[in-house]
Amino acid sequence: MGSLRYRWLGASLALSLVATGACSGSGDNGGGDGASSGNGGSSASTGTGSTNSGGNAAGIGTGGGINFDGGAATGNTGGTLEDGGACAAETAKGEQVPLDLYIMLDSSGSMVDKTASGPTKWDAVKQAIAGFVAAPGSAGLGVGLQFFPLNKQGVPNSCTNNNQCGSGGPCLLKTCLGGPGIVPCSNNGQCGFGGSCVDLGNCALDPTTICAPIGSNCGATGQCVKLTSSFCSNATECSNVRYATPAVNIAVLPGNAAAINASMNANSPHGNTPTGPALQGAIDHAKQYAGQNPGHTVVTVLATDGLPTSCTMTSIPQIAALAQAGKNGTPSISTFVIGVFAPADTAAAQNLNAIAAAGGTNTAFIINTSGNVTQQFLQALDQIKGKALPCEFKVPTPTSGQVDYNKVNVQVTSSGGNTSLLYVGDASKCDPTNGGWYYDIDPAAGTPTKIAVCPSTCTAFKGQTGAQVDILIGCKTNIAPPR
């Protein structure tokens, strides 16, 4: 009689912008010296001068904006505007467009595998997520969570007999010996290829490896010992609707941290890897949430330690197509991917990169289990936060009256000085080198709610040390010349 050894089923894990306007200066024909500094908080603007005099103007603006690298930023918040600065600017307060992450986390059976540093993959990832949601830098970020696989309704995570499994049965306590892998059975008649239905066991020194027949030698991991409990062989939920319902609703950190940690602690790895319905559910929920929260940027994070193993979608092109449809849909949902793999899993990066590229995020974050998984996973989440953080800002509301959309300017202060960005009209007119900014809605066609900067400008923001963004209201808009 032949023998069988098989790895246990389940193979995967999956700024508040303070917009300050300092648009004050000397009177007509006056020369003026201006000084300005910014350091987060409220804002003020003052100036003195007289007509036909050489009066001095001092603009002092506290507040300033987004600091992408945590450094301090100071600079002249006034800038040189199209009308020379002689305008009735009002200091306004704006906010960066909120960012929300919906994390779809693999909790399949293989997450109990040990990492090189000692803890299981599951424990290492739990620690990383706990650190991320507690970090001061995550405050204000919206985060929600769901796990995969989920079991069908009413199907338990473990079983000792077939009756306990209901529609998810049979309980995986027997297999057809000589079959292709593990074939659940209750009697010899269910082994159509002529094999025999025998009891399943696990290796005495490695309980995560199942084996048959009982009493066979597992080598260095001991003798094959009969299982006393197992899991329901047809337990996996394949409906994306279940995965679109969060275990923890998206809510702002740090307030949501306790619920996320409690949910992680209440779950344990089991089962296999239904990546298809899990990702589709994540995208569906992200779209729903974005629709209910206009102005938010919502993305999905698929974290997995293996490739798809169950439900109808098990090929990488199929999973990538789901990510692409999410990216191309309205609202657009980007998919970030984190993979937790051993160095021997050489195909992992290529496959997960395909999903990430289709989801609009270029490449996956690959965590190597031979290193510190907690540290690597935490770094991946921090990088995802930085990449997903939108270069979009809410149009500030003036203290009285309405915004004159022809008198709004966006200014960047960095170590190199001040730059007043040019208004380009819409995304299609963004200069690939000089960048610029535009409204989410053409003011001639509707009411804008967001100011967006062009891709090259956004890249520059995030690459500058101490970069600061200010929105000035009341000065004639600097408009880019026609391209």
pTM, two decimal places: 0.70
Is residue 289 very low, low, confident or very high in pLDDT (cuts 50, 70, 90)? very high
Residue 98 is predicted with a pLDDT of: 87
Whether 35 shows a pLDDT value over 80: the answer reads: no
Q: Quick one: which of 253, 13, 243 has its CA closest to 125?
A: 13
Range scoring the smallest mean pLDDT among 85-94, 209-218, 343-352: 85-94
Give the count of alpha carbons within 13 A of 12, CB side only. Answer: 27
Residue 16 is predicted with a pLDDT of: 28
Mean pLDDT of the region 442-462: 86
CB-CB contact of 194 with 187 (8 Å)? no
Residue 413 is predicted with a pLDDT of: 73
Mean pLDDT of the region 188-211: 86
Q: Show the tokens assigned to 63.
A: 């507040």
Residue 32 is predicted with a pLDDT of: 36
Count of CB atoms situated within 10 Å of the CB of 225: 16
In degrees to the nearest 10, what's the CA dihedral of 253, 255, 259, 260?
10
Report the residue count for the chain. Answer: 483
Residue 172 is predicted with a pLDDT of: 92
Mean pLDDT of the region 422-438: 91
Q: How far apart are CA 290 and CA 59, in angstroms?
A: 39
Residue 85 is predicted with a pLDDT of: 46
Mean pLDDT of the region 452-479: 80
H or E, element range at 352:
helix 348-358
Mean pLDDT of the region 211-230: 92
Residue 86 is predicted with a pLDDT of: 52
Q: Averaging pLDDT over each range in 65-69, 121-125, 134-138, which range is the top one?
A: 121-125
Range scoring the smallest mean pLDDT among 90-99, 212-221, 374-383: 90-99
Whether 265 shows a pLDDT value over 90: the answer reads: yes
Strand blocks (E) in 213-359? 224-226, 248-252, 297-304, 335-341
CA 259, distance to chain mean position in Å, is 18
Residue 191 is predicted with a pLDDT of: 87
Whether 22 shows a pLDDT value over 80: the answer reads: no
Residue 40 DSSP label: S
Whether 288 shows a pLDDT value over 90: the answer reads: yes
Residue 81 is predicted with a pLDDT of: 45
Is residue 434 very low, low, confident or very high in pLDDT (cuts 50, 70, 90)? confident
Q: What is the DSSP string of 379-410?
A: HHHHHHHHHHS-SEEEPPPPSSS---TTSEEE
Q: In one letter, which amino acid is 439?
A: Y
Strand-pairing partners, residue 339, are: 304, 366
